[in-house]
């Protein structure tokens, strides 16, 4: 079952969201894991080629609650995307977590943020700040928010935003403050502060965010004293896993990884009893 909802963020900002209910039966304690999907730059909760819809439905089939939402100014949400910075996106993600964790049937020890592209960086920065996030899945994740987004929109567009205060990019009015907010966040530097388990998925054919970022993220996460970090490199997959093969592979790898963690946690629980 799927339900369209509105998340109420600060200053009255309403965020459009879709909640997917788990299909598989709950565990012995009556709780289900939950996943919140964070879309990328000027994206939406549907995703390119319906990637996030397919992902949410597949994970729901495996017994998870899945919440996918539109950041302010994207999709069906209220607000002006280009006027809201990365700090606001982190705050909106925490609002999504508030909603998920308000449900009694969600297991607070099995809460995952799944972020794609810029949403990956936002998910990581949120996880570092919010201890309620226990697991992190990074798909084609941005590593240097300012440099990566300026490279995507083009230097001329950024320069125009500085000179005129804003630039029109694909119908979005991106203010200079939006770009400057990206400068304040360095995911590679903050990554070691997240103590939970991490899965990295990246394609060798990613035309926007170098696949090398996936290797660097794993290397950094491995320096931590706690938490696992696994990596899956998809041969020839592009930035949005657009082919059916790559979509299915990314979704399968993610579902299998989460199921593995659930099994490990269940075994540990039985052993500790």
Q: Tell me the two tokens of residue 212.
A: 């090398």
| Residue 174: inside a domain | no
Q: Does residue 57 belong to any structural domain of this protein?
A: yes
Amino acid 46: pLDDT: 98
Q: Which two tokens stand for residue 174?
A: 């991106």
Total domain count, the chain? 1
Is 152 contained in some domain?
no
Closest CA to 133 of 119, 122, 123, 121: 123
- The pLDDT of residue 265 is 75
- Which pLDDT belongs to residue 196? 98
CATH number at residue 267: 3.40.50.1820
Only one residue has tokens 């991490």, namely 198
How far apart are the C-alpha atoms of 82 and 226, rounded to whole Å? 37
In a domain, 182, yes or no: no
Tokens for 173, please give them. 């009015």
d(C-alpha 200, C-alpha 188), whole Å: 13
User: Using CA atoms, how far apart are residues 1 and 20, in angstroms rounded to an integer?
Assistant: 6
- Classify each residue of 87-122 as buried b or exposed e, where b means 16 or more C-beta atoms within 10 Å of its C-beta: ebbbbbbbbbbebbeeeeebbeebbbbbbbbbbbbb
pLDDT tens digits, 39-57: 999 999 999 999 999 999 9
Domain of 243 in residue numbering reads as: 2-144+187-272
pLDDT tens digits along 126-171: 999 999 999 999 999 999 999 999 999 999 999 999 999 999 999 9
In a domain, 165, yes or no: no
Q: What is the mean pLDDT of the chain?
A: 95
Residue numbers in the chain where pLDDT is lower than 70: 25-28, 267-273
Nearest Cα to Cα of residue 56 among 23, 26, 20, 24: 20
Does 40 reside within a domain?
A: yes
DSSP 127: H
Write down how long the chain is. 273
pTM of the full structure: 0.95
Residue 30, pLDDT score: 81
Residue 180, in any domain of the structure = no
Distance, in Å, from the CA atom of 69 to the CA atom of 32, rounded to the nearest integer, reads 19
> Does residue 51 sit within a domain?
yes
Instruction: Indicate the pairing of strand 197-203 with strand 229-234.
Output: parallel
């Amino acid at each position: 079952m799927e339900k369209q909802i509105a998340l109420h963020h600060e200053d009255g900002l309403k965020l459009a969201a879709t909640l997917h209910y788990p299909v598989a039966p709950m565990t012995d304690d009556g709780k289900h894991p939950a996943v919140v999907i964070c879309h990328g730059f000027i994206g939406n909760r549907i995703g390119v080629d319906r990637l996030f819809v397919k992902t949410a439905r597949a994970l729901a089939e495996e017994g998870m609650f899945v919440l996918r939402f539109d950041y302010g100014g994207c999709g069906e949400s209220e607000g002006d995307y280009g006027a809201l910075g990365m700090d606001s996106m982190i705050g909106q993600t925490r609002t999504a977590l508030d909603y998920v964790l308000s449900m009694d049937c969600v297991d607070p020890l099995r809460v995952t943020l799944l972020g794609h592209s810029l949403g990956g960086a936002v998910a990581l920065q949120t996880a570092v700040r919010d201890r309620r996030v226990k697991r992190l899945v990074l798909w084609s994740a941005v590593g240097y928010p300012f440099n990566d987004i300026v490279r995507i929109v083009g230097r001329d567009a950024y320069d125009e935003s500085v000179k005129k205060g804003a630039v029109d990019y694909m119908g979005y009015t991106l203010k200079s403050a939006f770009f400057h907010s990206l400068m304040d966040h360095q995911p590679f530097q903050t990554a070691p502060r997240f103590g939970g388990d991490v899965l990295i998925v990246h394609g060798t054919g990613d035309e926007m965010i170098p696949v090398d970022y996936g290797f660097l993220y794993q290397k950094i996460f491995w320096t931590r004293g706690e938490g696992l970090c696994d990596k899956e490199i998809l041969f020839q997959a592009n930035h949005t896993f657009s082919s059916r093969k790559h979509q299915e592979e990314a979704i399968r790898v993610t579902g299998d990884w989460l199921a593995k963690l659930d099994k490990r946690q269940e075994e540990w629980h039985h052993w500790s009893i």
